[in-house]
Structure 1
Amino acid sequence: METTGATRRPDTSGLKYKGFKIHEVSGDERPSQPHARRDYYKIVLVTAGNTLITYGDNTVAMKGTYLFFSNPRVAHRVEDLEKGRRGYACLFSEDFINSREGKNALRDSPLTRVEDSPVIALNEAQASFMKSLFVKMLEVYRDGFPACMPLVKTCIELILQDASRIQPSQQLTGRQYGTSRISAMFLELLAKQFPVEHPGEPLLLRSAHDYAKALSVHVNYLNRSVKSSTGKSTSAHISGRIISEAKALLRHTNWNVADIAYSLGFEYPTYFNNYFKRATGQTPHVFRKQKV
């Protein structure tokens, strides 16, 4: 199911052909290596097993039957605490779910709502329903009929919709934890943007909206979470880090101001000059002249 060694990676060849792949999880597997960022989503139905799941900065021990949702933006690791994990795993690209209903189901599901737990324990009735959907997808996938792909998409939508219905009563943590978690993920993502190594590779994330999109949450939720957890606004964190990096580049590189402006995501040097002066009271040129 997961990467099982330094040289073994998930087989995603089916994704390139159909944008979708499904397989049974059977046999004993070694602990997975941390999952690098991929361009696909993953839903796993575990019908038997005792596992330790690390997702982002959270670790959850699960035993029995449950669903696990993997978002390509957040690394995960799965470790078997006992032998004998069984179940099903399906992988699909975002383009595979191309209908309005499918994209809405994806957006509102635990697959993209990183503030919610990606692990959902299932009772007997829920497990039976989910298993029937995975079995049907596996049957269609093995038959290899492209005309049946709409049926697969419908099954995925049903899984996502039912998971969203179950999730509120299955959350492993409360609202306060969710707020702290999304704030921590924002700060981690912000830190990863720096240091800027080359003027030809500008920052990709510049605003609260950019970070909210990258974390698959609404910008208002991100702003509330960051403010509640840190006492500072999302924009203040971003601005402070950009100014800090600008000072470092002015002091420790020979890049011209235009290159620094571009590397920090400013379209024109004048925008950067005004931004820097509002924050520091000095223009970049004056600040640089004061370099010791």
Structure 2
Amino acid sequence: MLARNQEINIITKKETLEDFYNKLKITRPEIPTPSLRMIDDISHFNVFNRAVACSNMPSAFSRRDYYKISLIIGNGILHYPDAEIEIKGRALLFTNPNIPYAWESTSPKPAGYFCLFTENFIRNRNESLSDSLIWRINDSPVIHIDEEQEKALVDIFSNMMKEMDGDYVHKYDLLRNYVQLVVHQALKVKPQGSIFKQNNASVRLTSLFIELLERQFPIGSTEHVLELKTAHDFALRLSVHVNHLNHAVKEITGKTTSEHIAKRVTTEAIALLKHTEWNISEIAYCLGFEYPANFNIFFKRQVQCTPKAFRVS
């Protein structure tokens, strides 16, 4: 069983996509490792057979910098900071970058499938994360399914694996639709009430912060200006002291509130530079920068090039 002190002491440990593929290389060197460059811009998706890519060793209690949907066929325990969810037989398991967890298999051999992806793979540029399908499943990380539902989901994941091996020019659009189909299958069988609700105060506050941050996006017009720009702004809206908010968000996600805000503003800046014809001053103003020079400095710090250079690249 997973040691309880592991749950308490490794909250801030983080597993990146690079960490995931490095570990996979050790146990399964025959599986190709994709290029992870410019991942914030171009996004990432992959799908695996659990019998090939997973072991029976308990995973480390940590956050992952990616979303993961697992079709578990067998038994196991999902460990959260303040709770455990047991799976017997079959289930869909949804995990996200905001909440740390560990997985402990209690079956002789792993079976099923899993796919992992970044936020910018699944979310349309014109919707906020809180409006996306994947957000609607956040309060139910485990969806128990029956044999008929298992068969339908096996077919979907099998099709994902075939597409990953194919050369169809629009395969990632098709894969995105398959992910949405998996989420729809989960929403169809999800109980009206949440199966599981995090009770930890830091988890609740972090979730409220992330949701409040996401509600500000996407930026739909040059008249739309960010209202909440700093950790103090969010703390005031959430009626907590900024130090308390910073501590809770750092404890759960391993990142400060300012880091979350900067990453989300950068993601939106990239989208606006790529998908609109607004000038850089207009984009800077919408994102809360009084002067374009300040936006240039911020963007270069985040992306290692200026907004102008990024737009023409």
Which category of TM-score, normalised to the shorter sequence, fits these structures? 0.5 to 0.7
Which amino acid in the other structure matches residue 121 of structure 1? H
Contact 2:137 2:183 in 1 (8 A): no
Normalised by the size of structure 1, how large is the TM-score?
A: 0.55
In the other structure, the counterpart of 1:164 is: 187
Decide which of 31, 34, 46 is 2:61's aligned counterpart.
34
Counterpart residue identity of residue 36, structure 2: K
Deviations 1:146-198 (A, max 9, x none): 4322211111111112212221258434xxxx3x62745135x49xxxxxxxx
- Give the Å deviation of 1:6: 11
Is 2:91 aligned against 1:43?
Answer: no
Matches within 5 A, 1:63-78: 63-78=88-103
- The alignment yields a C-alpha RMSD, in angstroms, of 4.1
Alignment of 1:1-292 (within 5 A): 9=23, 13-14=33-34, 16=36, 19-26=44-51, 28-38=55-65, 40-46=66-72, 48-99=73-124, 107-109=132-134, 113-114=137-138, 116-168=139-191, 171-173=194-196, 178=197, 181=199, 183-187=201-205, 189=206, 210-213=209-212, 235-238=238-241, 241=244
SS of 2:161's partner is: helix
* Deviation of 1:55 (Å): 3.0
* Structure 2: gaps (5+ residues): 1-14, 26-31, 38-42, 217-235, 246-257, 262-287, 289-313
User: How far 1:101 moved relative to its partner?
Assistant: 9.3
How many Å separate the matches in 2 of 1:102 and 1:128? 31
Under a length normalisation based on structure 2, what TM-score does the superposition of the two structures give?
0.52
Instruction: Summarize deviations over 1:204-250 as a string: whole Å, max 9, x none.
Output: xxxx6x45346x799xxxxxxxxxxxxxx9733336848xxxxxxxx
In structure 2, the residue corresponding to 1:26 is in which secondary structure? helix
Q: 1:15 touches 1:21 (CA, 8 Å); kept in 2?
A: no
Higher Rg: 1
Contact 1:55–1:75 (CA under 8 A) maintained in structure 2: yes
C-alpha distance in structure 2 between counterparts of 1:154 and 1:239, whole Å: 40
The offset of 1:107, in angstroms, is: 2.6
Contact in 1 for aligned 2:128/2:215 (Cα 8 Å): no
- Cα distance in structure 2, aligned partners of 1:93 and 1:33: 20
Identity across aligned pairs (percent)? 22
CA contact (8 A) 2:80 2:102 kept: yes
Letter in 2 for 1:44: S
Contact in 2 for aligned 1:26/1:86 (Cα 8 Å): yes
Q: Which has the higher contact order (CA 8 A, sep 6+)?
A: 2
Contact persistence 2:67–2:119 (CA under 8 A)? yes
In structure 2, distance between residues paired with 1:122 and 1:211: 29
Residues 59 and 148 (structure 1), Cα distance of their counterparts in 2 relative to 1, 3 Å cut: same
Q: Is the 8 A contact 1:52 1:78 kept in 2?
A: yes
Task: Give the 3-state SS of the residue equivalent to 2:241 in structure 1.
Answer: helix
Gap change, CA 1:149 and 1:8, over 3 Å in 2: closer
d(CA) in 1 for partners of 2:183, 2:137: 12
**Alignment check: 8 A CA contact 1:14 1:20 kept:** no
Q: Could you tell me how far apart the structure 1 residues matched to 2:142 and 2:238 are? A: 31
Which residue in the other structure is 1:227 paired with? none
Structure 1 residues 19 and 146, CA, compared in 2 at 3 Å: closer, same or farther?
Answer: farther
CA distance in 2, matches of 1:93, 1:31: 23
Are 1:113 and 1:217, in contact at CA under 8 Å, matched by a contact in 2?
Answer: no
Residues 1:186 and 1:84: Cα distance change in structure 2 (over 3 Å)? same
Q: Which amino acid aligns with 1:236?
A: S
Change (3 A) 1:76 1:140: same
